[in-house]
Amino acid sequence: MSYVVRLTESLFPAQTESQVQSITIGEQLKLTAQYNPHETALVEIDIDGQIGRSWTWSSLLVECEEQAFALASRFRLGECVTVWSPNSPEWVIMEFACALAGIVIVAANPALQARELRYILEQSGSVALFLVETYRGNPMATIAVEACSSLGEIRECVDMDDIQAMRRVQDPVNVLQIVLPEDAAMIQYTSGTTGFPKGAVLSHLSLLNNARFYADRLGVRRDSVWINIMPMFHTSGCGMVTLGCLQAGCKMLIVKLFDPPAICRIIEQEKVSTILGVPTMLVALLESLDKESNDVSSVEMFSSGGAMVAPELVKNIQRVFGCGFGTLYGQTETSPVITQHFPDDSIEDICRTIGQPLPQTEVSIRSVDSNKVVPLDNVGEICVRAYCNMIGYHDNPEATHEAVDSDGWLHTGDLGSMDNRGYLKITGRVKDMIIRGGENMFPAEIENTLLEHPEIAEVAVVGIPDDKWGEVIGCFFRTEENQPVSAKSLHGFCRERLSPQKTPTIWCWVEDFPMTGSRKIQKFVIRDRFLKGEYEPLSL
């Protein structure tokens, strides 16, 4: 049930009915295994959508501790290792083992290309890369060789499917070193307006408590069955779901590949109760059920975020699954959930707002110009001050200082408003981030890549509204001396340097750009003109 408050300004005070617990991920794993030793903890859904291996909480703890001692024999407390892999039980075991050993996981998207991966390895100071050989056609082992060449800090490249290499003991240790709740557990990379990805450093305490508050509001219990279709390289998969299941002591199904017909079949077979997915995933599940019927009546709650959820989609999910639905809002820097709906919220609130803040989370809407709290229902920047805020950006004090002000408010870069009940709405972005299918895309990174093309003079990357993806990436460019260049060649240029999801799908050549008085490109004008049909897309 939602908090009953009557605000007089756009400042929601932290609600204290739930306490922030001072505990590490490793300690929580031990507690859960102690109280639920024989309950199923983890079930593998393999690449073909079939049930694979499974672990009880006690057997999972045994494997994680064995892996932790192996890691502790090769790496020092606080060192960073990058995990570059799709969802798998090995990812989960690595997350818990690193937490037990006090080693910091750096999460990397398996779609990354060589220079993207190299940047993350180098910027994080990673001393090892844990990877799989290939995934969805991406030759990861080959890419790893290129990315790691001449990186002197990298001591190991380990195939996660090679159990002997994973559990290799170098200098045996008898006792794992002490890890504190405030210590770094993970670095998650999120690009910024400069185009250079920033590594948000998240603690055990922030990740665990955020996941628990989120799972509690969802109504997750010990007998829940949660299917994890979100990527483990994102805080949604490795944080919200994995750590939510850990604290509830419930079963988690870890899905390697999101295949809607297989997911629907698994829902029926395993009596799945809880699902977190971005809107594009939800649409795909509904389309699959239209073609082939499965019994999905076990589902109690759908949770979604990462993009605005259309009212019609909410209603269709509730109709087909006969379940509750709630949206959430967050960002990597806040571990990640900031606001979330309650199970009994009205359909109007679910479709028109992003919910109320989680417990122990202070949220304000502040003027972009003065940094003062704005009146109710006025638009400003959404800011957060709470236990869940990141430790900082790794090795980037300037960016940390820019994101977190002197009063401890983390500035999200998102524009929104707050009503007198503390329910928030998103109205836009201070920054030009594009959310495609729930995944954040940052124009500056794509623009910087395209500016390396010899024929590109100026470029603007803009989010274009799309019914399926929420937004797709549109590239508007001007060439040197207005010489023609094909969209196909630019698309290929991007694909050689960026992962597929960052490559624009809409390409428009322009003679000139709409500019501000200070000669800055007016992206909102470009978007409006495109939607009015004033720009003609090039064919690929």
Percent of the chain with pLDDT over 70: 97
Query: What pLDDT does residue 192 have?
Result: 46
- Tokens at residue 124, please? 């994080």
pTM: 0.86
Q: Does domain 434-531 have CATH number 3.40.50.1970?
A: no
- 12, 365 contact by CB (below 8 A): no
What distance in Å separates the CA atoms of residue 404 and residue 525, rounded to the nearest whole number?
30
pLDDT of residue 194: 46
Cis before 336 (ω within 30): yes
Q: Is 402 helix (H, G, I), strand (E, B) or coil?
A: helix
Is it true that 21-327 and 434-531 share their CATH fold?
Answer: no
Which pLDDT belongs to residue 388?
Answer: 98
CA angle centred on 239, ends 234 and 241, rounded to 5°: 100
Structure tokens of 394?
A: 């790794």
CA 167-168-170 angle, 5° bins: 135
**8 Å CB contact between 466 and 503:** no
Helix, strand or coil, per DSSP, at residue 120: helix
Nearest residue to 36 (alpha-carbon basis) of 61, 11, 17, 54: 61
Beta bridge partners of 107: 83, 188
Q: What is the pLDDT of residue 431?
A: 65
Give the closest residue to 253 by CA, choosing from 424, 54, 492. Answer: 54
Sequence spans of domains, the chain? 21-327, 434-531
Please state which CATH class domain 21-327 belongs to. Answer: alpha beta
Residue 453's nearest CA partner among 493, 510, 501 is: 493
Both tokens of 203, joined, read 């603690």
- What's the confidence (pLDDT) of residue 440? 73
Q: What is the rounded distance in angstroms from the CA atom of residue 107 to the CA atom of residue 419?
A: 36
For residues 67 and 167, the answer to whether their CB atoms sit within 8 Å is yes
199-214 tens-digit pLDDT: 999 999 999 999 999 9
Q: β-strands 184-190, 104-108: how paired?
A: parallel
The full length of the chain comes to: 540
Q: Mean pLDDT in each 10-residue stretch from start to end of the chain (540 residues)?
A: 96 98 98 98 97 98 98 98 98 98 97 94 98 96 96 97 98 97 96 69 98 98 98 96 98 97 98 94 94 97 81 91 96 97 94 94 94 95 97 97 97 93 85 79 82 87 90 92 89 93 95 72 87 93
Give the integer Cα–Cα distance in Å for 475 and 453.
13
pLDDT of residue 428: 67
Contact assessment for residue 423 and residue 353, using Cβ atoms and an 8 Å cutoff: yes
Residue for token pair 């060439």 = 479
Using left for φ > 0, alpha for ψ between -120 and 50, and beta otherwise, residue 170 falls in: alpha
Find how far residue 375's CA is from the centre of its chain. 31
Which among 121, 120, 140 is positioned nearest to 189, based on CA atoms?
120
End-to-end CA distance of the chain: 50
pLDDT score, position 467: 86
How does pLDDT run across 62-114, given as a tens digit for each residue? 999 999 999 999 999 999 999 999 999 999 999 999 999 999 999 999 999 99
Other C-beta atoms lying within 10 Å of the C-beta of residue 298: 17
